[in-house]
Amino acid sequence: MGMSAVLRRTWRRAWEGRFSSAALILFVPLFFSTLFGFVYYQNVVKHVPLLILDEDQSSSSRAFAQMFADADAFDVVGYAGTEEELSARVQSGEVVAGLGIPADFSKKLKQGAGTNVLFLTNSENNTFGSAAISAADSIIRTFNVGVAQKALSSRGILKEDTARIAYPIQIGVRILNNPVGAYTPFMLSGLLLNGLQIGLLLSVAPFIVRVCAGGGYEGAAAWKIIVSGVLVYAGVGLLAFTLALPIIVYGFGVPCRGDLWQIFLLAGGFVFFVTSILLTFSTLAKDEVSALQMPMFYLMPGILFSGLSWPPFAMESFARVFSCIIPFRYVGINMRDLLLAGYAPDFWQDLAVMFCAGGAALTTAIFLLRRRRKEAAV
């Protein structure tokens, strides 16, 4: 059987059935991009449930509490009567954050003695906790400036000089590539690629098992079957990426600052690497269930070890070493860098790893399929 005939057979097989393999590859990344795009649509955490304890009940304490109520970051959901109640309701998870204003709040402000307020967070969800602490710190700083301005103005100091005197060191912060710290640009490209990986897993893993069960490839050389599988399924995977990318860019506002040829070359290297590995696992599997299970344990932790959510340099040594054999390790950060910054420092190095490792997996799959067919013929 010639190569063109094998390619046509693999192409037809990819589209056979009501829920075809090719349709799965196309659907899953599109579904992931849309679903998680809406999950992170607000980009930053807002409306954190806040409980307030105001033991002072003065105009100053009410003004301070009102600043929290006016902030987009918080939703004041009630008021506590005691510090014990405040602590218990935050700890139980009824609210995420609690603000405790002491009874001598206004008195100490007038004396210029300084005062301590209590801010509690339930950081079982660290995202909520970190957002609440950051927002509270910003509000308190703003309130402090107002207090300092009022105190210094009473001493005859010009209002425009009070902030400089109260805070002599100013920090000029410029946040590059993701200025508002939005979650959509931070995670959505990685979730798209994870969806693509899952679609390939569900479609490619059973391929060789079906071929060996009598899939119409009689007389075709092992290398032709494997190469046709890579060309067809990796090609459909790249098409899926092409369809999903505009969803995250135009639908959910993820920047696209890198060159398109680099973005698609990186995606091509990834689908080639993953497809080759899946074909290798498929040649080792005895049935379709094991063909799915074996690579699942290998590929599915990929997003955790990719460095997208936790940087590789902060991982334990075992995790760093293990991440080096995971395909996602070589695409996740690079794709985000290309989209957000327009440049990926490790682009060529990681691209070379994916193509070389994919080539090695492809060669291994050919060898294993050839041996499997010989053993079946005995």
pLDDT digits (tens, 9 = 90+) for 156-192: 665 566 666 666 656 666 666 766 566 677 788 888 9
What pLDDT sits at residue 45? 76
What pLDDT sits at residue 114? 76
Task: Report whether pLDDT(349) > 90.
Answer: yes
For residue 58, what is the DSSP state? S
What pLDDT sits at residue 101? 92
Segment 278-302, tens digit of pLDDT:
999 999 888 888 888 888 888 888 8
What pLDDT sits at residue 17? 76
Task: Report whether pLDDT(221) > 60.
Answer: yes
Most confident range, picked from 100-114, 253-267, 289-303, 315-329: 253-267
Segments making up each domain of the chain, as ranges: 3-40+182-377, 48-166
Phi and psi torsions of 103, nearest 5°: -70, -25
Phi and psi torsions of 116, nearest 5°: -110, 130
- Tell me the mean pLDDT in the region 66-85: 91
Integer Cα distance of 197 and 265 in angstroms: 16
For residue 250, what is the DSSP state? I
Task: Report whether pLDDT(44) > 90.
Answer: no
Q: pLDDT band at residue 219, thresholds of 50, 70 and 90? A: confident
- Residue 117, judged by CB atoms within 10 A of its CB (0-12, 13-18, 19+), counts as middle
Segment 248-289, tens digit of pLDDT:
999 988 889 999 999 999 999 999 999 999 999 999 888 888
Helix (H) or strand (E) holding 202: helix 183-204
- Tell me the mean pLDDT in the region 37-55: 83
Query: Which has the closest alpha carbon to 290: 279, 281, 303, 277?
Result: 281
Task: Report whether pLDDT(132) > 90.
Answer: no
Question: Among 72-76, 111-115, 135-139, 232-236, where is mean pLDDT lowest?
Answer: 111-115
Integer Cα distance of 104 and 332 in angstroms: 52
Provide, rounded to the nearest whole percent, the portion of the chain with pLDDT above 70. 90
Task: Report whether pLDDT(92) > 60.
Answer: yes
Q: Are 369 and 287 in contact (CB under 8 A)?
A: no
Q: Are 205 and 285 in contact (CB under 8 A)?
A: yes
Handedness of CA 250, 252, 256, 261 (dihedral sign): negative
Query: Which has the closest alpha carbon to 64: 148, 167, 146?
Result: 146
Q: Are 166 and 232 in contact (CB under 8 A)?
A: no
Integer Cα distance of 23 and 271 in angstroms: 16
Q: Are 143 and 67 in contact (CB under 8 A)?
A: yes
Q: pLDDT band at residue 148, thresholds of 50, 70 and 90? A: confident
Residues 6+ apart with CB under 8 A from 151: 112
- Report strand pairing: 97-101 vs 118-121: antiparallel
Task: Report whether pLDDT(53) > 80.
Answer: yes
Question: Among 231-235, 240-244, 289-293, where is mean pLDDT lowest?
Answer: 289-293
Say which residue the tokens 């906790």 belong to.
129
Q: Which CATH class is domain 48-166?
A: alpha beta
Mean pLDDT of the chain: 85
- In single-letter form, the type of residue at position 332 comes to G
Q: Which residues of 252-287 are buried (b: 16+ CB within 10 A; e: fewer)?
A: bebebebeeebbebbbbbbbbbbbbbbbbbbbbbee
